[in-house]
Amino acid sequence: MKEIRRSYCGLCHPRCGTLLHLENGKVVKVTGDPDHPITRGVICERGRLMQDHLYHPQRLNYPFKRVGKKGEGRWQQISWDQALDEVAQNLSELRDKHGAETLTFTHGTKRTYHWDCRRFFNLFGSPNTCGVNTICMCPSYATEFATYGGMIMGSEVPAAKCVVLWGCNASQSSPVGLYPKIVAARKNGAKVIVVDPRRTKEAEKADVWLQIRPGTDLALMLGWIRLIIAEDLYDREFVSQWTVGFEELKEAVEPYTPEKVAEITSVPAGLVTESARMYATNGPAVIPFGLGLDKQGVNSTQCARGRAIIRAITGNLEIPGGEVFSLAGEVGKIRDTGYFELNDMLPESQKAKQLGVDQYPFFGFPGWEKNSAANKRLPEGYMAAPEAWHSNLAHAREVMNAIITGKPYPVTAAITLANNPLLALPNTKRVFEALQALELYVVVDYYMTPSAALADYVFPAASTVETSEIWLTGRFCMACPQGVEPMYERRNSYDFYRGLGMRLGQEEYWPWETIEDVYDHSLEPVGLTFKQLADQYGVFGEMEYRRYEQFGFGTPSGKVELKSSIFEELGADPLPQYREPVWSPVSSPELAEEYPLILITGSRFMPMYHSEQRQIEKARKKIPDPLVSIHPETAENLGLSEGDWAMISTPLGSIRQRVKISDVMHPKMVDIQHSWWFPEREPKLPELFGVFESNANILCPDDPEFCSPEIGSWPHSALLCRVEKEVEGRKSAHK
């Protein structure tokens, strides 16, 4: 019996529409859904892996309980009820002994609903959720809310006259979402500027490519701002009526002449000038979100500020073809994730215990509450609430330290869901020590990962096609229908958290039996059920522009704060200022003699997505080994040939990867692939799937001096390294 069912992908961040082709109830092929209003039948290489992922023999299908020592690889299969009962009992006892703050959580990029985790933790009483948000969108999100009361999630790229791809390699990171829009804009005559250390596919086709020294982007931004002001290329009317702090900004950027910027960034002064003029004189213009800026360490938060300021002073906010952050029509009525998180249920006494809040108040509850309070001056449904993106987070480094030391209080339990902290967080050795020290470690995942292998309980997660979801943006709300029934005993994250909550006294706060019941409640204000939404595909709002003329901006002043009052109140620099990275040829010349190459990590590469897809044969055939990309001249000087295994070292440690000769980066740079582990290896210590062999995060520091002072973003790029040919007998240097 043959059948075709609508579903969606979810193997990376977007929820692209798919068609599942079934024979006798089994998926035999996955194609794009041509009727899907957003993705229109297009799926990428990852989407075509869904069938392999769904039926992979290494999938977790049942709950397991550890019966041997941690990392010994001995497990007992148990039922969901037994597993939830025992986890709830352990959590109850640990809470009674140490307080609710003893429980923490690590999460990664969007695979699950997120809000259910927040709801559970707020009701449990712990402020200590943490994860990769610190280096992934949330720095931009929190910062843009402080600057103009919203996050740019709707750059109108196809209608723009200039597109700036700043730390954004869309062909690899967003091949179905953003990249086609860039292609469309270019066909419509838009200018394209690319700011990237590497000559990416986008850079090769750009009007201007700025090959910047990693970690110096903020200096270039300040140079742009100075030139735009000095040459009177800013929107005088908008700046006069709708911003505060312009004169202070003008004074702050005065030192950043094109010549000074060239000295810092390695971008020729002429290109600094040309690119700034091109952006400012070809409006409407957009600078879509790019992950490259959020993972730079000391400058990451102020990079987000710099980008926001450039958008604002050129009058590109909330205009057709520009940068849009308000919600469109009916979409604003839908109850979003912030509604369901119950952040107000967490007592103030518990918020004060959030780990890292004393050092990074802007990213913790103090900053979140100031952003949220300012945003509430706007009408309901006008703007996505700040809490919807979890900008009230503990700092992962401080969480790991508390687990290891018991200070400032014991953190003894952790839940990891849709995350692999040994591959996702920096300073892998510290993370490993912390996971080993936990009294209770619970993991929910698709596969047995290196992190899951250290757990006490492991739960099987449902694939995205085995559960339903809502894809909610500022412009649309799409139904993502379940394609197949969950196989074996896989369940979604809502079932997991509701199951725990019901056992821990939270019954009244989990009234919806299924996730689709939740969606029915979410859609109630627009008079739809989830099934009705699915039948009509989605809800699309009509966009209104320049609504700030009626309501103002969601900031304390009601205007764009070029000088941020929220930053100033929290002790952070209210105006962006450049800091030289700690490990750089400029700040550490003696260190650079021993580690002469500039290192970047975290570049996206298809079809892998972070630490995922390593066990899927089709993906590994394309990229069987971890790769370090080295310029031909550099490789020759180091005696390296294509395919050699090389040791890459920083002061923090060493790993091995296979050499790829490429001239896409500068001879003084190397680019290593991140999140590598080997599912085919031994699943127990000491090998632990080879997690210590080629894992880029072993090289990445997270001590305070490396992190942005406002929110604690750690660096995954702008580091120093040494590369050497691997010599027999030195393979174990990474250990």
Residue 553: predicted pLDDT = 95
Cα–Cα distance measured from residue 69 to residue 483, given in angstroms and rounded to the nearest whole number: 39
Q: Reduced to 3 states, what is the DSSP secondary structure of residue 444?
A: strand
Residue 427 phi, psi (nearest 5) = 55, 65
Residue 314: predicted pLDDT = 98
Using pLDDT thresholds of 50, 70 and 90, give the confidence band for residue 154.
Answer: confident
Q: Reduced to 3 states, what is the DSSP secondary structure of residue 117?
A: helix
**Domain limits, the chain:** 2-54, 64-137+330-467+483-540, 152-324+556-569, 589-734
Residue 660: predicted pLDDT = 97
Residue 735: predicted pLDDT = 35
Q: Copy the structure tokens of residue 416.
A: 């990891």
Q: Is the pLDDT of residue 76 over 70?
A: yes
What torsion do the CA atoms of 557, 560, 566, 572 make, to the nearest 10 degrees?
-150
Hunting for tokens 């402020």 — which residue is that? 127
* Average predicted confidence (pLDDT) for the chain: 93
Spatial CA neighbour of 9 closest among 27, 28, 31? 31
The number of helices, as runs of H, and strands, as runs of E, in the chain is: 28, 25
**Which residues make beta-bridge pairs with 29?**
21
Cα–Cα distance measured from residue 214 to residue 207, given in angstroms and rounded to the nearest whole number: 21
Q: String of b and e for 160-184 (b: at least 16 CB within 10 Å)?
A: bbbbbbbbbbbbbbbbbbbbbbbbe
Cα–Cα distance measured from residue 629 to residue 663, given in angstroms and rounded to the nearest whole number: 9
Please compute the mean of the pLDDT values over residues 166-188 and round it to a whole number.
84
**Which residues make beta-bridge pairs with 461?**
491
30 contact partners, CB below 8 Å, separation of at least 6: 18, 19, 20, 21, 43, 47, 48, 50, 51
Residue 463: predicted pLDDT = 95
Q: Reduced to 3 states, what is the DSSP secondary structure of residue 105?
A: strand
CA atoms within 13 A on the CB side of 555: 27
Write out the H or E segment, with its range, that includes residue 724.
Answer: strand 719-725
Q: Is the pLDDT of residue 387 over 70?
A: no
Q: Is the pLDDT of residue 519 over 70?
A: yes
Radius of gyration of the chain (CA): 25
Hunting for tokens 């627009």 — which residue is that? 526
| Candidate CATH numbers 3.40.50.300, 3.10.20.600, 1.10.20.10, 3.40.50.740; the one for domain 64-137+330-467+483-540 | 3.40.50.740
Hunting for tokens 């001249």 — which residue is that? 633
Cα–Cα distance measured from residue 546 to residue 59, given in angstroms and rounded to the nearest whole number: 49
Please compute the mean of the pLDDT values over residues 37-45 and round it to a whole number.
91
Residue 582: predicted pLDDT = 95
**Which residues make beta-bridge pairs with 76?**
65
Please compute the mean of the pLDDT values over residues 440-445 and round it to a whole number.
97
Spatial CA neighbour of 122 closest among 499, 482, 509, 445? 509
Least confident span in 236-250, 454-468, 720-734: 720-734
Cα–Cα distance measured from residue 49 to residue 31, given in angstroms and rounded to the nearest whole number: 10
Spatial CA neighbour of 523 closest among 553, 478, 460, 554? 478
CA atoms within 13 A on the CB side of 574: 16
Q: Copy the structure tokens of residue 306.
A: 């710099």
What is the SS3 string spanning 24-51? Answer: CCEEEEEEECCCCCCCCCCCCCCHHHHH
Cα–Cα distance measured from residue 383 to residue 332, given in angstroms and rounded to the nearest whole number: 7
Tens of pLDDT, residues 489-499 = 999 999 999 99
Q: Which CATH architecture has domain 2-54?
A: Single Sheet (2.20)
Please compute the mean of the pLDDT values over residues 628-634 and round it to a whole number.
97
Residue 295: predicted pLDDT = 84
Least confident span in 247-251, 369-373, 657-661: 369-373
Question: Sign (positive/negative) of CA torsion 555, 556, 562, 567?
Answer: negative
The reported pTM is 0.94
Instruction: Give CB contacts under 8 A, 24+ apart, made by 732-735.
Output: 733/647, 733/649, 733/654, 733/656, 734/647, 734/653, 734/654, 734/655, 734/656, 734/692, 734/693, 734/694, 734/698, 735/692
Please compute the mean of the pLDDT values over residues 635-655 and round it to a whole number.
97
Which fold does the domain 589-734 belong to in CATH?
Barwin-like endoglucanases (2.40.40)
Tens of pLDDT, residues 82-132 = 999 999 999 999 999 999 999 999 987 777 778 999 999 999 999 999 988
First to last CA, the chain: 53
Which fold does the domain 152-324+556-569 belong to in CATH?
Dimethylsulfoxide Reductase; domain 2 (3.40.228)
List C-alpha distances in Å: 538 to 43, 269, 327, 470, 527. 19, 48, 15, 9, 13
Cα–Cα distance measured from residue 15 to residue 33, given in angstroms and rounded to the nearest whole number: 12
Residue 138: predicted pLDDT = 78
**Which residues make beta-bridge pairs with 19?**
6, 31
Q: Do domains 2-54 and 152-324+556-569 have the same CATH topology?
A: no
**Maximal CA-CA distance, the chain:** 72
Write out the H or E segment, with its range, that includes residue 656.
Answer: strand 653-661
Cα–Cα distance measured from residue 79 to residue 68, given in angstroms and rounded to the nearest whole number: 19
DSSP 59: B
Q: Is the pLDDT of residue 730 over 70?
A: no
Residue 687: predicted pLDDT = 96
Q: Is the pLDDT of residue 731 over 70?
A: no
H helical segments located in 425-525:
428-437, 493-503, 515-523
Q: Is the pLDDT of residue 563 over 50?
A: yes
Cα–Cα distance measured from residue 90 to residue 442, given in angstroms and rounded to the nearest whole number: 11
Least confident span in 117-121, 522-526, 531-535, 538-542: 538-542
Using pLDDT thresholds of 50, 70 and 90, give the confidence band for residue 734.
Answer: very low
Cβ neighbourhood burial of 565 (10 Å; 0-12, 13-18, 19+)? middle
List C-alpha distances in Å: 646 to 419, 670, 689, 731. 28, 12, 20, 9
**Phi-psi category of residue 24: left, alpha or beta, with phi > 0 → left and psi -120 to 50 → alpha:** left
What is the SS3 string spanning 45-58? Answer: CCHHHHHHHHCCCC
Q: Reduced to 3 states, what is the DSSP secondary structure of residue 621?
A: helix
**Phi-psi category of residue 190: left, alpha or beta, with phi > 0 → left and psi -120 to 50 → alpha:** beta
687 contact partners, CB below 8 Å, separation of at least 6: 681
Cα–Cα distance measured from residue 671 to residue 599, given in angstroms and rounded to the nearest whole number: 6
Residue 386: predicted pLDDT = 65
Cβ neighbourhood burial of 520 (10 Å; 0-12, 13-18, 19+)? middle
Q: Copy the structure tokens of residue 98.
A: 């140490």
Using pLDDT thresholds of 50, 70 and 90, give the confidence band for residue 238.
Answer: very high
172 versus 552: which is more confidently predicted? Answer: 552
